[in-house]
């Protein structure tokens, strides 16, 4: 069984080796991204080290930030964003404190999201706000899976991160057919190479299983395409600008959201 203690040396070693590679490349944008990872990886690992309370705190923090960014992309008002963030937080807390109540909390969250445009009497944009809110709740609530999955979720996060990086560089070098009109820069060659690298990481971390492999190989790219669809509809490049070298949090966890969704379904 995968544990955080077993993963920590691998994460520390990967961070150190990548730092040497980034320094050798002398590329400023890579250095900025590495610095963000140097701060984020210990924080994320420490959260999982604390068990379910730490994973819940991490999921709530990520869920609130992601809900705000998502609301910004779809031009939702403050009330819509606040209720969406509260609904996602409720699902995460239920996954921690009362797992059997998660379906009930999801329904309550959906009703709360729907109540905002209804209470405002928004006849013109109410349907759009309702659809956007329910999609956001369904998409972001999968962060609650971080709580029961624990170290396995951390391993999947590492795997999809490696898969993303591999897909980017392999796609640029190998070329070939585009993966989707939603993301013209991505190629099938890069996606296949990324999937192989991600599954290889799962094997290396002793976290390989057919649901995890399918989550990384299929869910990761699918999650990335979902965010690409949303950003193209909003005509923006990044979900935010506060995360150095990465835009926003959604730009970093979109693949993880897709992978977690697959794991939730297969669990």
Q: Which residues, including other chains, have CB under 8 Å from residue 52's CB and lie 6 or more apart?
A: 96, 147, 148, 150
Instruction: Check whether 245 has a pLDDT greater than 70.
Output: no
Which pair of structure tokens corresponds to residue 201? Answer: 């990481």
Provide the pLDDT for residue 1.
Answer: 63
Provide the pLDDT for residue 148.
Answer: 95
Rounded (10°) angle between helices 52-73 and 78-97:
160
Range 100-104, long-range pairs (CB < 8 A, 24+ positions):
102/144
Q: What's the distance, CA 203 to chain centroid?
A: 21
Instruction: Check whether 158 has a pLDDT greater than 70.
Output: yes
Q: Which residues, including other chains, have CB under 8 Å from residue 121's CB and lie 6 or more apart?
A: none
Strand partners, 128: none
Provide the pLDDT for residue 87.
Answer: 98
Instruction: Check whether 71 has a pLDDT greater than 80.
Output: yes
Instruction: Check whether 254 has a pLDDT greater than 80.
Output: yes
pLDDT digits (tens, 9 = 90+) for 191-238: 999 999 999 999 988 899 999 999 999 999 999 999 999 998 888 888
Encode burial over 168-200: b for 16+ CB neighbours within 10 A, e otherwise. Answer: bebbeeeeeeebeebbeebbbbbbbbbbbbbbb
Instruction: Check whether 2 has a pLDDT greater than 80.
Output: no
Mean pLDDT, range 140-165, rounded to an integer: 93
Confidence of residue 176 (pLDDT cuts 50, 70, 90): confident
pLDDT digits (tens, 9 = 90+) for 18-55: 777 778 777 777 777 778 888 888 899 999 999 999 99
253 closest CA partner among 180, 152, 146: 146
Provide the pLDDT for residue 233.
Answer: 87
Q: What's the distance, CA 238 to chain centroid?
A: 14
Neighbours of 20 (CB within 10 A): 9
Please tell me whether the overall predicted TM-score, pTM, comes out greater than 0.75 for this model: yes
With contact defined as beta carbons under 8 Å apart, do 12 and 44 qualify? no
* Averaged confidence pLDDT in the chain: 90
Greater confidence, 13 or 120?
Answer: 120
Greater confidence, 184 or 70?
Answer: 70
Q: Where are the domains of the chain?
A: 53-148, 150-267
Comparing 38-42, 53-57, 114-118, 126-130, the range with the smallest average pLDDT is 38-42
Instruction: Check whether 157 has a pLDDT greater than 80.
Output: yes
pLDDT digits (tens, 9 = 90+) for 73-114: 999 999 999 999 999 999 999 999 999 999 999 999 999 999
């Amino acid at each position: 069984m995968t544990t955080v203690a077993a993963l920590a040396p691998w994460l520390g070693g990967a961070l150190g080796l990548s730092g040497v590679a980034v320094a050798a490349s002398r590329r400023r944008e890579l250095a900025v991204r590495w610095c963000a990872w140097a701060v984020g990886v210990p924080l994320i690992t420490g959260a999982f080290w604390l068990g379910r309370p730490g994973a819940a705190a991490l999921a709530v923090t990520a869920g609130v930030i992601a809900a705000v960014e998502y609301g910004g992309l779809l031009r939702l008002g403050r009330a819509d964003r606040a209720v969406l963030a509260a609904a996602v937080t409720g699902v995460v807390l239920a996954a921690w404190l009362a797992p059997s109540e998660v379906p009930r909390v999801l329904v309550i969250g959906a009703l709360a999201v729907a109540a905002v445009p209804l209470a405002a009497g928004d006849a013109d944009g109410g349907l759009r706000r309702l659809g956007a809110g329910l999609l956001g709740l369904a998409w972001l609530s999968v962060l609650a899976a971080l709580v029961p999955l624990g170290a396995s979720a951390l391993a999947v996060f590492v795997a999809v991160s490696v898969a993303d990086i591999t897909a980017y560089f392999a796609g640029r070098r190998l070329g070939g057919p585009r993966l989707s009109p939603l993301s013209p820069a991505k190629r099938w060659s890069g996606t296949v190479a990324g999937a192989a690298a991600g599954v290889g990481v799962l094997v290396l971390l002793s976290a390989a299983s057919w649901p995890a492999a399918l989550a990384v190989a299929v869910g990761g790219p699918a999650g990335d395409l979902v965010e690409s669809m949303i950003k193209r509809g909003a005509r923006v490049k990044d979900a935010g600008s506060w995360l150095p070298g990465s835009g926003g949090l959604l730009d970093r966890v979109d693949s993880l959201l897709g992978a977690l969704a697959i794991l939730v379904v297969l669990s």
